[in-house]
Amino acid sequence: MRVLLVEDNRPLADWLAKALRQSRFVVDCMHDGADADHVLRTQDYAVVLLDVSLPRMDGWEVLRRLRARGKHAPVLLLTAHGGVEDRVRGLDLGADDYLPKPFELAELEARMRALIRRAAGHDKPALTCGSLCYDSTGRTFALGSQPLSLTPREHAVLEHLMLRSGKPASKEALSEKIFGIDQTASADAIEIYIHRLRKKLDGADVAIVTLRGLGYLLEARQAHAKVA
């Protein structure tokens, strides 16, 4: 899952980005509101962590512009000011959640996971497709009763397909979800990860199918059925 972290306190931003990457999030960092507004015009994120007090453009204005463009990325506001007026202002501008500083990393990640589930239309932490189970709390996969061993990029691709809930995902959309803004992405790389995932799901009652012109779809099917 790709996250935008907008925080002008660089030591805090560096620590938080490192912690989130260790939890298998892809993190892009911006340190002022103008840069955040610019990148949000062209990039899509699973969740935006937005500090309110930012140089060049405050978080309120970044949020207002994001919603004015019709973008629905979940936004979690981070601020040292936790008063009722600030919370009401943020929610009225279109924020999805609010977390005052200082906060515990575990609570931040739990709120992020909840926002990601909600944005994908899921209200339960456990998702299934055939015998494939995804625990969104621990962000782990199991096939039948066995944990599924995945590389970070394989995990990111399968996670996105699972959260899509039966909807196809294009190569471009998958690239946006698993590569950061400063990383080189290619359609060939996505094909490699899809190939590896198909091998790990081979023989199970769930498969990744190719829909010509639309992308890839995760679907439950008869065990040992061939993938078209």
The type of residue at 221 is R
Over residues 192-227, the pLDDT tens digits come to 999 999 999 998 999 999 999 899 999 998 654 444
pLDDT for residue 181:
86
Q: Over range 109-130, report the average pLDDT.
A: 91
In a domain, 162, yes or no: yes
Report the number of distinct structural domains present in the chain. 2
- For residues 146 and 60, membership in a common domain is answered with no
Tokens 């840069």 -> residue: 35
pLDDT for residue 7:
97
Q: Over range 174-178, report the average pLDDT.
A: 87
pLDDT for residue 82:
66
Tokens 């909840």 -> residue: 114
pLDDT for residue 123:
79
- For residues 108 and 137, membership in a common domain is answered with no
pLDDT for residue 173:
87
For 67, counting Cβ atoms within 10 Å of its Cβ (0-12 exposed, 13-18 middle, 19+ buried), the class is middle
pLDDT for residue 80:
82
In a domain, 226, yes or no: no
Mean of the per-residue pLDDT values for the chain?
A: 91
| DSSP-based three-state secondary structure for 95 | coil
- For residues 134 and 215, membership in a common domain is answered with yes
Over residues 69-89, the pLDDT tens digits come to 999 999 999 988 767 888 888
Specify the range with the lowest mean pLDDT, choosing from 129-143, 184-198, 212-226: 212-226
Helix (H), strand (E) at residue 65? helix 59-68
Give percent helix, percent strand, percent coil of the chain, each to the nearest 5.
40, 20, 40
- For residues 37 and 108, membership in a common domain is answered with yes
pTM: 0.85
Over residues 97-110, the pLDDT tens digits come to 999 989 999 999 99
- For residues 108 and 140, membership in a common domain is answered with no
Which domain does 206 fall in, by range?
126-220
The percentage of the chain sitting over the pLDDT mark of 90, rounded to a whole number, equals: 71
| DSSP-based three-state secondary structure for 126 | strand
pLDDT for residue 222:
67
In a domain, 225, yes or no: no
For residue 53, what is the domain's CATH number? Answer: 3.40.50.2300
d(CA 142, CA 208) in angstroms, rounded, equals: 16
Query: 2-6 and 47-51: which strand pairing?
Result: parallel
- For residues 67 and 154, membership in a common domain is answered with no
In a domain, 228, yes or no: no
pLDDT for residue 224:
44
pLDDT band at 2 (very low <50, low <70, confident <90, very high): very high
| DSSP-based three-state secondary structure for 90 | helix
